């Protein structure tokens, strides 16, 4: 039985005053079936980890460098994330693939850097609008999944997040049939590659998840939770999403 995961990605949002939102998420996070994760900007990780100490909320980073240390100005290593109190790291978010030219190979290496520091990697994959309209969705998702996921991935150290790029921050959401098609495909590919352990990976949906659509999305087969951007910034929205997931 896979535990559900409600993951928030604050992206480049959040100052010290916003840590109050984490406090307000604590009661909703104390659920029986759902893990709760907030990936804050790197500047907030250690304060966020302190703020959630003793609660059911985990803190994660949004990216890490492939190397453990060295001359990489402005970058942050997985060891630094772990040292700051993170338990997870997002790798391969489409905003990093696009803005920073990250390839599948780099994303796999970043995920391995996470494993080496006992971080759970949340590996993101998803097609662009052009790829969706060109009928290439499963090809693109399959290739990204294969090449961004290291051989050392397990259901315990890795979460897969399916995020159609065209649904991120746009308010556009795929149909429930489209979500089911991709999630069932991802599950089949994980089982083909990792055997029975392929059934242990959590597969999240991401892209314009809100309290108003969460219940429907969480009823879709092989959707084990969500990676939420905008609606994770305020406890009032994210708590409703956690509750919808816990009830699913």
Ligand X SMILES: O=C[C@H](O)COP(=O)(O)O
Question: Annotated catalytic sites, by residue?
Answer: 93, 163
Alpha-carbon gap, residue 167 to 163, rounded angstroms:
7
Interacting stretch for ligand X, rule CB under 6 A, among 27-35, 80-88, 131-139, 228-236? 228-236
Q: Based on the shown chain and the rule CB under 6 A, indicate whether residue 92 belongs to the binding site for ligand X.
A: no
Q: Based on the shown chain and the rule CB under 6 A, indicate whether residue 237 belongs to the binding site for ligand X.
A: no
Q: Quick one: which of 209, 214, 223, 240 contacts ligand X (CB under 6 A)? A: 209
Q: Which of residues 7-26 bind ligand X (CB under 6 A)?
A: 9
Annotated ligand binding at 208? The verdict is yes
Note the helical H segments in 85-175: 94-99, 104-116, 129-133, 137-148
Alpha-carbon gap, residue 188 to 165, rounded angstroms:
22
Please give the distance of CA 32 from its chain centroid, rounded to a whole number: 20
Annotated ligand binding at 11? The verdict is yes
Residues 82 and 119: beta-carbon distance below 8 Å: yes
Q: How far is the CB of 83 from ligand X (least distance, A)?
A: 24
Annotated ligand binding at 84? The verdict is no
Interacting stretch for ligand X, rule CB under 6 A, among 19-27, 108-116, 187-195, 201-209? 201-209
The secondary structure of residue 153, as a DSSP letter, is -
Task: Choose among 52, 46, 63: nearest CA to 11.
Answer: 63
Q: Based on the shown chain and the rule CB under 6 A, indicate whether residue 227 belongs to the binding site for ligand X.
A: yes
Q: Based on the shown chain and the rule CB under 6 A, indicate whether residue 204 belongs to the binding site for ligand X.
A: no
Q: Based on the shown chain and the rule CB under 6 A, indicate whether residue 229 belongs to the binding site for ligand X.
A: yes
Look at residue 9 and give its three-state secondary structure: strand
Q: How far is the CB of 122 from ligand X (least distance, A)?
A: 9
> With left for phi above 0 and alpha for psi between -120 and 50, is residue 208 left, alpha or beta?
left
Whose tokens are 């850097």? That residue is 113
**DSSP per position, 177-193:** HHHHHHHHHHHHHHHHH
Nearest to ligand X of 6, 248 (CB atom): 6
Nearest to ligand X of 60, 85 (CB atom): 60
Alpha-carbon gap, residue 42 to 61, rounded angstroms:
6
Interacting stretch for ligand X, rule CB under 6 A, among 50-58, 77-85, 105-113, 223-231? 223-231
Alpha-carbon gap, residue 43 to 81, rounded angstroms:
10
Q: How far is the CB of 144 from ligand X (least distance, A)?
A: 15
Interacting stretch for ligand X, rule CB under 6 A, among 68-76, 162-170, 188-196, 239-247? 162-170
- Point out which residues bind ligand X (CB under 6 A): 9, 93, 163, 168-169, 206-209, 227-231
């Amino acid at each position: 039985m896979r535990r559900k995961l409600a993951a928030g990605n604050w992206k480049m949002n959040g100052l010290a005053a916003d840590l109050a939102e984490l406090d307000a998420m604590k009661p909703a996070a104390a659920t029986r079936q759902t893990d709760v994760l907030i990936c804050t900007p790197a500047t907030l990780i250690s304060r966020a980890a302190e703020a959630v100490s003793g609660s059911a909320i985990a803190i994660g980073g949004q990216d890490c460098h492939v190397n453990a240390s060295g001359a990489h100005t402005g970058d942050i290593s997985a060891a630094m994330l772990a040292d700051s109190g993170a338990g997870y790291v997002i790798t391969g978010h489409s905003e990093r693939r696009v803005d920073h030219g990250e390839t599948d190979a780099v994303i796999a290496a970043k995920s391995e850097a996470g494993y080496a520091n006992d971080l759970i990697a949340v590996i993101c994959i998803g097609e662009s609008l052009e790829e969706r309209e060109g009928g290439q969705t499963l090809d693109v998702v399959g290739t990204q999944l294969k090449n961004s996921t290291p051989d050392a991935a397990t259901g315990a150290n890795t979460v897969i997040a399916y995020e159609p790029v065209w649904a991120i921050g746009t308010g556009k959401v795929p149909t429930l049939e489209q979500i089911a098609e991709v999630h069932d495909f991802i599950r089949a590919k994980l089982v083909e590659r990792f055997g029975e352990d392929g059934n242990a990976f959590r597969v999240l949906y991401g892209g314009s998840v809100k309290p108003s659509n969460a219940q429907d999305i969480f009823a879709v087969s092989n959707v084990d939770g969500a990676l939420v951007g905008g609606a994770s910034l305020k406890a009032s929205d994210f708590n409703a999403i956690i509750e919808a997931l816990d009830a699913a």
